A and B are shown apart, each in its own frame.
Chain A
Amino acid sequence: MSSVSKSPWIIHYDGSSCNGCDIEVLAALTPLYDVERFGIVNTGNPKHADIFLVTGGINERNIDVVREIYDQMVEPKVVVACGVCACTAGIFKDCYNIIGGVDKAIPVDVYAPGCAIRPEAIIDAVVEGIGILEEKSKKLKAEKKGA
């Protein structure tokens, strides 16, 4: 990825995390790390979002919510699993109400481990996500041309 052609907007959903990763996602947007200066905005609307940041594992109650948000997002879209719980269910793996990581519900593009994940790791994962987003967008364009 040489340059970014547009600023991706992110949407954040707390699966069943302990909050630690959620506040770090917000910390990445606020003055010390400040990714908003690149135009990366935290939106509440799935239809506006390009990158879906999920924290925490999946349980029976929220699996439909996560799928619903993912389905409402417009292609191309990228999913980033933030924190070790979102990757593999982490420390909560043995809990009776946990199905597993986010990939049990929706396809995940970038895995970003950490407990709690550090804002630097989130930024790193989002930057990787931007590369994937551009690739997906190119592919989508090529498909449209072919059709």
Chain B
Amino acid sequence: MGKAQVLPFGPQHPVLPEPLHLDLVVEDETVVDVLPQIGFIHRGLEKLVETRDIHQYIYVAERICGICAFGHSYGYAETVERLMDVEIPPRAQYLRSIMHELSRIHSHLLWMGLAADAFGFESLFMHCWRLRERILDIFEAVAGGRVILSYTLIGGVTKDIDAPMLQAIKDKLNSIKKEYQEICNAFLKDTSVKNRLVGVGYISPEDAVQYGMVGPFARASNLNNDVRCLGLGAYGDLADFQPILSTDGDCYGRVQVRAEEVLQSISIIEELIDKIPDGDFYVPVKGAPAAGSEACSILEQPRGEVYYYCSGNGTKNLERMRIRTPTTQNIAGMTMALKGCDLADVNMIVLTIDPCISCTER
């Protein structure tokens, strides 16, 4: 056994699109301890509620994270609506859920591409991102933007999606399905991919509970914490919702959960499009949240459960806004998975938690 050394990992690193710094304590090729350091993207967005009014802040909320942009505007709007006791029309709820599931597909495809890049399968990376562009085409047709959509408003959404457009979305997803299946096969059945994933970074279900892990990272350790099971909003109207779980607990399990969630999201969108009710897509919201009022809401984002808390003070600005994001929860689990792994597997394990540092640091 060699002497322990400290290797810096990040903040600028080829596998990380975002800055995260890890001090890896290694003995020979084995990682014995990990010390994460964060704060490179901290901007102070929660403080900004004091100078932006509730309607303006929705655009800031969206820019907490560019990958889950729609999810954050959705979650923030929902919390403020609860704060002010606003009931939004059912059609708006359906439209939000459809867009939210679409952004889950886009986020998972993006992540699968980055994972393929991390284990050195360059062409698979390109195929994932090629397919992802088709989802971005839908975003662009609906909202006008590719990643930052500005689609949510407090009280509903900015634009309706009409019937021919909904049909077009359905057709597009259908055409993606077959190509996606091929990519899935490469991820889940290819021997060289399996060699990099199976048995790497194991976390037991007990540890998953203890470290408070959320999202696909926890579901791969057979821990069901899918918020969609609660049936909030339009999710309550789904005929059947079964969360996708895996008992593997390793990197392969995490890839499998995300790969299957894309297909699940496609069928959710198809079901919601079939069931979407007619009516308004927006109710104007006037006034300000009452002094001392408090509200919270939870939402299943691509990376896991997000918790929002808002409190009002009688003015147009909120008194306090707080978000607990999934990566904050998962960093503890990641450091545990890293202990005892090979140095060459560090990339893979860091990526399989799908770190979203912008969300974490805000």
Report which A residues bind B (CB closer than 8 A).
Answer: 11-24, 26-27, 30-32, 43-44, 46, 56-57, 59, 61-62, 65, 69, 91-92, 94-98, 115-116, 118
Contact = CB atoms under 8 A, between A and B. Distances in A.
A19 B44 contact: no
Contacts of B14: 43-44
Given A69-B12, A98-B43, A116-B148, A19 B17 contact: yes
Nearest to B110: A23
B97 interface: no
Contact of A27 (B47, B125, B129, B148): B129
A59 to B, nearest CB: 7
Most buried by B among A20, A24, A56, A98: A20
A83 B42 CA distance: 18
B148 A115 contact: yes
Q: Report the 10 A-B pairs with minimum CB-CB distance, sorted nearest first.
A: A20-B66, A44-B14, A19-B66, A30-B129, A31-B130, A18-B63, A95-B44, A18-B66, A95-B43, A20-B147
Interface residues of B, number: 40
A17 B40 contact: no
Nearest to B134: A32
B53 interface: no
B69 A92 contact: no
Given A94-B51, A95-B47, A22 B17 contact: yes
B30 to A, nearest CB: 24
27 contacts: A15-B41, A16-B41, A16-B42, A17-B41, A18-B358, A19-B17, A19-B65, A19-B67, A19-B356, A20-B69, A20-B147, A20-B148, A22-B18, A23-B17, A24-B146, A24-B147, A27-B133, A30-B126, A30-B133, A43-B14, A44-B12, A57-B43, A59-B41, A59-B43, A65-B40, A92-B43, A95-B45
B314 interface: no
B55 interface: no
A97 B43 contact: yes
A118 B126 contact: no
Contacts of A98: 43-44
Contacts of A116: 66, 145-148
B283 interface: no
Nearest to B125: A30
Most buried by A among B42, B47, B126, B356: B42
Contacts of B127: 31
Contacts of B145: 116
A11 B358 CA distance: 20
Contacts of A92: 43, 45, 63
Nearest to A13: B12
A19 B43 contact: no
B126 A62 contact: no
A118 to B, nearest CB: 7
B19 interface: yes
B328 to A, nearest CB: 16
Nearest to A36: B126
Given A20-B67, A31-B126, A97-B44, 4 more contacts: A31-B130, A32-B130, A43-B14, A59-B40
Contacts of A91: 59-60, 63
A48 to B, nearest CB: 11
A18 B72 CA distance: 12
B340 interface: no
Contacts of A65: 11-12, 19, 40
Contacts of B59: 91
Most buried by A among B14, B41, B42: B41
Interface in B141-184: 145-148
B17 A14 contact: yes
B129 A44 contact: no
A96 B60 contact: no
Contacts of B51: 94
Interface in B1-60: 11-14, 17-19, 39-45, 47-48, 51, 59-60
